[in-house]
A = this chain, B = another copy of it.
Amino acid sequence: MNASSRIAVEGVLETCLYADDLASAEQFYREVIGLVVHARMPGRHVFFRCGPAMFLVFNPTATGTGLDVGPGERRLQHGAVGPGHVAFQVDESALAAWRDTLASQGVPIEAEVSWPKGGHSIYVRDPAGNSVELATRALWAP
């Protein structure tokens, strides 16, 4: 709780990763991860709905320089370089199906972990090299 009031954020509304090749990123998150594209601006971003929130992939060359502004428009600069990380929640009963999907899509599994306190994770890489985890809810069970 912040010091000056009782207000608190309700959750994460936007999760971001970065990729220079947005077409490859879109294909991966659509075809492999199964997300639905919400919006795209070629060369700048592709946005996906993901459960109750949004998963955003930006081209850091476009968003990091502030050069992607139009007339009368100002966008905030951000744009990280190097592998980021995201974990998507998957159902435990679907882990075998996920392994099948990854194999059929030619996406190698980098690691699998059964966590001592519960939960299971499958790690892969997206085409940009970001670490993408498919994890069961039990990993972070309260």
Question: Which residues from chain B contact A30 at a C-beta distance below 8 Å?
Answer: 2
* Bound Cα distance from A81 to B7, whole angstroms: 31
* Bound Cα distance from A7 to B32, whole angstroms: 10
Among A51, A60, A98, A130, the most chain B Cβ lie within 10 Å of the Cβ of: A51
Label chain A's interface by main secondary structure.
mixed
Q: Which residue of B lies closest to A54 (CB)?
A: B140
Q: A86–B15 contact, CB under 8 A?
A: yes
* Bound Cα distance from A7 to B14, whole angstroms: 22
Contact bitstring A42-55, B, C-beta under 8 A = 1, else 0: 00000001111111
Contact bitstring A1-39, B, C-beta under 8 A = 1, else 0: 111110111111111101000000000001111111000
A80 on the B face (CB < 8 A)? yes
**Chain A interface residues toward B at CB < 8 A:** 1-5, 7-16, 18, 30-36, 49-56, 58, 60, 64, 74, 76-91, 94, 97-98, 100-101, 104-105, 110-111, 123, 130-131, 133-135, 137, 139-140, 142
